[in-house]
Structure 1
Amino acid sequence: MSESLSLDRRLLDIKIGAVVMVNGKSYRVDNIISFSEVLGVDMDTKRPKLLNIDELELAPTEYRGSTQLSLDDSEISDEYWQIALERFALIKPIIESSTKADVEAIAKASGNHFTTVYNWLKLYRAQKSILSLVPRKRGWRESKTRLDLQSETILRKVIEDFYLTAQKPSISKVITLVVIQCTKLGITPPHANTIRNRINSISSYQRLKAHGEKDKVRDKYSPASMSFPGADAPLMYVQIDHTPLDIIIVDDEYRLPIGRAYLTLAIDVFSRVIVGYYLSLDAPSAISVGMCLTCSILPKNKLLLDLDINATWDVWGVMNTIHTDNGADFRTDYLSRTCLKYNINWEFRPIGGANFGGHIERLLGTINRELHTVPGATFSNIQQRGSYDSEEQSVMTFRELERYVVTWITKVYHHSKHSSIGMSPIKKWEEGIWGTSKSPGTGLRPKVADSQTLLIDFLPEFSRTVQRYGIEIDKLFYYGDVLRRWIGAEETGNSKRKKKFICKRDPRDVSTIWFYDPETKMYFRLPTAKQEIPAISIWEYTQVQKYMAESGKNCTDQNAIYDAILELREQIKTSSKITKKTRRAAQRQRLHQTTSIKNTNVVINKNVAIHTEEHTESFWNEPVSGYIDVR
C-alpha cells in the first residue's frame, strides 16, 4: 500500500495555557522552560511533566475539519488565487492591528462592504495563511464583478506604461484612460474602485521609484550603515543567498579531489544568527532555497544528532519576511505561493540596492575566510592562493565539510561577539525571544504542526494526466493502485479534455513522486512503474537520457532506462580513479540518495527511521577556536 499524507499547514502556537498533545495524551502548557522544553500539566491526572518541544502536537479540534489550510494548488484556479492575492493586498496594512475606522476606510476605497473586509481580516488572523482568503464557493455573486482577460491586460498595461512613470499622472487620469481603451475595444471597463484598489496595492517603493523620486527612495528605503528597516525582532526579516565554498573536497571512496560545494545560507537580520542552511554539490536552484527554508523553520535537534555534533542550535520558527536578491532561483512561483500559505512575505532586493543584502553577503564572506585555514582552500582569488595547490592539499569529504560548517556555526559563530550588535548572535537572539529588563521579548515563534507537509509544499510540482501506464514525467512512468480510478479521467463538463492532476517530485530522487488525489485530498507516494529503478537524482537522470539518445536507444523504454542507469553507474565506478568529473558524479549520486525527502532527518511518519551515520574521526574531538569579533 502506498504511503499517504494529509496536508496539515496549521501552526502550533507555543504559549502558556495552550493545549497540546504528546503521544496521544493532552497537556496544558503551564510554563515555557527553554527553546527545547515546556512544563505541561496532564489534563487527566493534573500532574506536571517536562515536555520536549519537538514532540508537541496540536490537539484535535473541530476547526481542523472546516479549515482551508489543507487546500492543494490543484484545487485553486489561477482566477481564485488572484482573488486571494487582491484580498491579501487590501488587508495587509491592517493585519497586525486595526480599528473599526481602518476597516471602514479600506472597505469604502475598495467598494466592499465593511463586514466583508472584516471577515477577511478575521479569517486571515485565525489561520495566518493566504489560503483563508481563497473563495469558498465557485461562481460569483451578482453584486461582484470580475475582470476578463482583455480588461485585466488593459488595466495592467495602463498602470505600467502610464501611471508608473516620471510624469506622475493622477489616479483619475488612469481611470479615464482605462475606460477609453476598453470602450474602443467594446468591452466593459473595470469599476473605478477596482482601478483605485489595484493602484493602492502597488508598494510605496515601486511607486516612488517609478515616479523618479530618487531622494525619497534613498531616504525612506536605503538602510543606514549596519541597519535594516523593520528588522526589530527575531525572524522579522531573514536573508537568503548562495555561495560556492572556497575549498576543494574529496570523494568518500578514493578521497581524491572532486571540486567545490555550494552553500545556501539563511540569516536572521535582527540577531545575525544563522537560521538554516543547505549544502550541495549541485549549483544553486529553487530546491536549494526550499530545503534551506525547511531547515530554517524546523527544529534542528535531529540534524545535530545525525551529524554527531554535541551542540545546541535552538533557532527555529516561521519567519515574517524572506529577503533575497532577484536571481531566477528565488523568483519561482511555487516558492512564493508556498511562503504565503505559511504567512511568510517574500521581498526582493531592489535592483541596484546592494546595501540591502549586506548582512548575508558579509556572513558568506566570513565563512569562506574561515575555510581559508583548512587544507584544500582555494582562497578568494589567484593572488591569495599563490603557488598553493588546493587539489593536492584537499582532505575533507562532503560529510566532513558539512560537519565542519555546522560545528563552526553552532560552537563558534553564534557565540562570538558581533561588531554590529555588540554581543554574540545567540545572546541577541535570546534577548529578542525572552526579553530584557528594558524591553519585552516576542516569545517562541509558532511551530509547524506537520513537518512532512512543509517538505512536500516546498517540492517542485507538475500537472499531468493519468494514462493506462500511469503518470509520465520526463519519460519516467509512475504507477500505484490509487491511480486506477483516474485512468483517462476527463475534465468536469468538458469530455474533450483530459483531467490533469498535481504531482510533487524531489529532484534529488526522481524514482518516486507524490500524487495528489483530489477526492481523498491526500498525497500518495508512487514508485516508478518498473520498481527496480533505483533512487536517482534529476541531474544523474538527465545524463542517462543523454546517453540513451546518443546510443540510439528508446528513451521511454523503462527497461532500457534501468539498464542505462546501471551501465553508467558501472562506468563511473570503474573510471572514478581517472577523472575528477566522474568522481564528483559518483559523490553527487551518493549524496542525493541520502539527502532526498525519503531520507531526510525530518521524520516522514512514525514508521520511518531517521538516517544516522557513525563518525569516529578524532579530528572532531579537538576544540574549535573562534574569532574574538565576527563581522
Structure 2
Amino acid sequence: MRRKNDSRIKKALTALPGEEYLRGKPIRLHSDNGSEFVNAVIRYFLDRLNIIFDRGPPYAPNARARIERFFETFELWLHEVPGTTMSTPEKGEYYDSEGDAAFTEASINRHVEYWIENIYHQRKHRALNMPPAIAWGRAMKNRLPPEKFTAEDLDTLCRVVQKAKISAAGRVHFLCLSWYGPSLQEIRSKLKRGQSAICYYNPLDLGEIWIAHPDNPRNPERAYATHPEYQNGLTLTEHELLHKQYLAQGREFDDSKADVALLLLRQRMAKEYDESRQLSKNSQSSTKTKPKNSERDNHSDIVERIQNLGKDDDIPNFDVEKL
C-alpha cells in the first residue's frame, strides 16, 4: 500500500506530453491516519516538495466527507463485479475466494484507474451539477498549468544524503543493503584516511544510489544494487518493515539444541581421545618390555652353554645374532 501511494503521488507530479492541465502538484494533501500515509517516506517526500500535509482526527469520517462519499460510490461499483466478497468473507457467504479468484492486484489497479478516468470523471456529479472532468477543465481554463516535474527532477528532489565507507571490494553498505559501481574504486582511492564518501539515495527506490567524493559532491557516480531482485523499486518504508519482520522471525529461534549437541559432541571426542591415548601408551609399554625379556633369556642360554663346555666332545656353535 505504501508503495502504491508513493507511485500515485509521483504519477500525479510527473509531466507527460499532452497532459499539461491534468493532475499536478497540490497545495495541500489531506488523508486519514493510516500507516500507508503516516510514515517517514511520505512525510519526507511531501516536505521536499513543499506540500502541506494534514490529517483528520481519528474515527471522524465527517472530517473528510468528500473522499468518504467517493469511497462509497467506488464500493457500490466494485461489489457489482463478479467475485466480490461484499467487504467481508461472511457477507460473501459460499464464495470460494481462493478457488474462484480471477483478478490480480495489478489487474485490479488497472481496472480502478480506468473506472476513475473514464467513468467517474465523466458522469454527472450531483454537487457539481456536471462531470468532474468538465468542472476541472473550466476551472483551469484561465489559469497556468499545474506545477509538474520530470521523472529525473523528482528523483533528484527526493534524494537523502548519507555518509558511508567504500569497501576494498568497491561496495557501499548502509541500511543493511549494499551497492556497487564501476567508479567506486576510483573514488575510494582518492579518499583520505578515515574519510567517508557522500551517498545520495531515493527513499522511494533503493535499487540504485549515487556516490560522490566529499571534495566533488556535485558530480556523483551511479551505483547499483547487489540484490536487484529485492532492492529495485523497494521503498525505504517497505525495507524497514520487512527488516523488522526478519528480525522478529529470527528471535523465535535459539541455539539451545545446537549448543547441547555441541557439548555432547565435544564430550564424545574427548572420551575417544583419552581412550586412543591410553591404547597408544599400553602398546608402547609392551613393546619396550619384550626386548628386555628376550635379551635376558639369551644371556642365560649363553651362560648355560659355557658351563657345559668339555662335557661333550662337540665344540659349541653360537649364533652370530645371539652374540
TM-score range, shorter chain: 0.5 to 0.7
Aligned counterpart, 2:7: 291
Which is greater in Rg? 2
Q: Which residue of 1 aligns with 2:230?
A: 536
| Shift >6 Å, 4+ stretches | 543-546, 548-552
CA spacing shift, 1:383–1:423, aligned 2, 3 Å: farther
- Structure 1 unaligned residues grouped into runs of 5+: 1-283, 303-311, 435-440, 553-631
* Partner residue in 1 for 2:154: 454
Query: What is the aligned-residue identity percentage?
Result: 20
Mapped pair 1:467 → 2:166:
yes
Residue correspondence of structure 1 range 70-469 to structure 2 within 5 A = 284-285=1-2, 287-299=3-15, 315-333=22-40, 335-351=42-58, 353-382=60-89, 384-434=91-141, 441-448=142-149, 450-458=150-158, 461=160, 463-468=162-167, 469=169
- Cα distance change, pair 300–420 in 1 and its aligned pair in 2 (3 A): farther
Distance 1:486 1:334, change over 3 A: farther
Mark the runs of 5 or more structure 2 residues left unpaired by the alignment.
255-323
Closer/same/farther in 2, CA of residues 523 and 488 from structure 1, 3 Å limit: closer
Q: Cα RMSD (Å) of the superposition? A: 4.0
Change beyond 3 A, Cα 1:412–1:366: same
Aligned-partner residue type, residue 173 of structure 2 = E
Q: How many residues align?
A: 241
1:515 paired residue number:
210
More helix by proportion, 1 or 2?
2
Deviation at 1:293, TM superposition (A): 1.0
**Residue type of the partner of 1:501?**
I
Q: Do the aligned residues in 1 keep the contact of 2:210 with 2:223 (CA within 8 Å)?
A: yes
The 3-state SS of whatever aligns with 1:477 is strand
Higher strand share: 1
CA distance in 2, matches of 1:350, 1:545: 33
Q: Deviations over 1:11-31 (max 9, x none)?
A: xxxxxxxxxxxxxxxxxxxxx
Q: Does the C-alpha gap of structure 1 residues 382 and 536 become closer, same or farther in structure 2, counting only changes over 3 Å? A: closer
Judging changes above 3 Å, is the alpha-carbon distance between structure 1 residues 476 and 345 closer, same or farther for their aligned structure 2 residues?
closer
Report the secondary structure of 1:513's partner residue.
strand
| Separation (CA, whole Å) in 1 of partners of 2:101 and 2:143 | 45
Is the alpha carbon distance of 1:353 and 1:397 closer, same or farther for their aligned partners in structure 2, counting shifts above 3 Å? closer
Q: Distance in 2 between matches of 1:442 and 1:516?
A: 41
In 1, distance between residues paired with 2:127 and 2:220? 46
Q: Is the 8 A contact 2:164 2:198 kept in 1?
A: yes
- Contact 1:503/1:513 (<8 A) preserved: no
Contact 2:199–2:210 (CA under 8 A) maintained in structure 1: yes
CA deviation map 1:44-99 (0-9, x unaligned):
xxxxxxxxxxxxxxxxxxxxxxxxxxxxxxxxxxxxxxxxxxxxxxxxxxxxxxxx
Superimposed CA distance per residue, residues 607-626 of structure 1 (whole angstroms, 9 cap, x where no aligned partner) = xxxxxxxxxxxxxxxxxxxx
Q: 2:225 and 2:245 mapped to 1: Cα distance?
A: 16
The whole-number CA distance in structure 2 between the counterparts of 1:328 and 1:395 is 28
Q: Give the letter for the 1:298 counterpart.
A: T
- In structure 2, give the amino acid aligned to 1:292: R
CA distance in structure 2 between the partners assigned to 1:445 and 1:333 by the alignment? 26
Kept after mapping to 1: 8 A contact 2:20/2:145: no
Structure 1 residues 141-170: Cα deviation after superposition (integer angstroms, max 9, x where no partner): xxxxxxxxxxxxxxxxxxxxxxxxxxxxxx
AA in 1 matched with 2:37: F
**Aligned-pair distance for 1:414?**
0.6
Name the CA shift for 1:408/1:288 in 2 (closer, same or farther; >3 Å): closer
Q: Distance in 1 between matches of 2:63 and 2:25?
A: 21
Give the AA of the match of 1:366.
T
Contact 1:514 1:523 in 2 (8 A): no
SS at match of 2:230: coil
Which amino acid in structure 1 is aligned with residue 162 of structure 2?
S
State the TM-score, normalizing by the size of structure 2.
0.60
* Cα distance in 1 for residues equivalent to 2:245 and 2:42: 28
